[in-house]
């Protein structure tokens, strides 16, 4: 079987692959995401794919013959891309902005081998945030802790963050940042998993 290398330090992506019993190594990409975002002129979805591409291509030369997975996710709200919050105050401001409204989590996945892209995938999940009370928000902020700055939305949908939503349209794994089923198909096609 071909080796798989995850070009990310994301705990969520690592956990998804581990639970699916996919063998992989971790070698986080060291790219200047801020510089990519500053000069990028496309949509938030295209930005997520571009960041995933750059991560995979940065790590691929260090692992000859291996398949390298680059992944990224961007929060899109009213046509703009939003980053992770830098602190709790920014996270609260973002949650207030999203309250009672919808946003999208757009993601990009890329597989590279020997410095060439061999597969890519885009995902989009529509997230409908409920009109929660200030009291709920205060309690959520107390309970969430590091969740507030770990993901682009300030929530971990697989846990406490689920209480923020009325409905979600899209793949559960894509919400978490790794659309698993399309990825598993690509890994079988490229010899990482048995077919």
Regions of the chain with pLDDT less than 70: none
Domain that holds residue 136: 4-189
Residue 40: inside a domain: yes
Ranges of H-type helices in 40-145: 44-59, 88-98, 134-144
Looking at residue 34, what is its pLDDT?
Answer: 87
The model carries a pTM of 0.93
Looking at residue 151, what is its pLDDT?
Answer: 87
Residues carrying an active site annotation = 72
CB contact set of 157 (below 8 Å; sequence gap of 6+): 165, 168, 175, 176
Q: In this structure, what CATH number is given to the domain that contains residue 12? A: 3.90.950.10
**What's the total number of domains in the chain?**
1
Nearest CA to 49 out of 111, 4, 128, 5 is that of 111
Looking at residue 94, what is its pLDDT?
Answer: 95
Q: Are 195 and 184 in contact (CB under 8 A)?
A: no
Residue 50: inside a domain: yes
Residue 195: inside a domain: no
Residue 194: inside a domain: no
DSSP classification of residue 101: S
Looking at residue 101, what is its pLDDT?
Answer: 98
Looking at residue 138, what is its pLDDT?
Answer: 95
DSSP classification of residue 10: -
Residue 152: inside a domain: yes
Looking at residue 1, what is its pLDDT?
Answer: 86
């Amino acid at each position: 079987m071909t080796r798989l290398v995850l070009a990310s330090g994301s705990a969520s992506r690592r956990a998804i692959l581990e639970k699916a019993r996919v063998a992989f190594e971790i070698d986080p990409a060291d790219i200047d995401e801020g510089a990519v975002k500053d000069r990028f002129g496309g949509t938030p979805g295209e930005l997520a794919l571009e960041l995933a591409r750059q991560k995979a291509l940065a790590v691929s030369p260090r692992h000859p013959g291996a398949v390298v997975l680059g992944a990224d996710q961007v929060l899109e709200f009213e046509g703009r891309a939003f980053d992770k919050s830098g602190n709790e105050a920014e996270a609260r401001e973002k949650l207030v902005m999203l309250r009672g409204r919808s946003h999208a989590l757009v993601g990009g996945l890329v597989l590279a081998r020997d410095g060439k892209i061999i597969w890519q995938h885009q995902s989009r999940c529509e997230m409908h945030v409920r009109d929660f009370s200030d009291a709920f928000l205060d309690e959520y902020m107390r309970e969430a802790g590091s969740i507030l700055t770990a993901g682009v939305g300030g929530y971990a949908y697989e846990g406490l963050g689920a209480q923020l939503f009325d409905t979600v349209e899209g793949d559960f794994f894509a919400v978490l940042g790794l659309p698993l089923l399309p990825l598993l198909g690509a890994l079988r096609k490229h010899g990482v998993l048995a077919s």
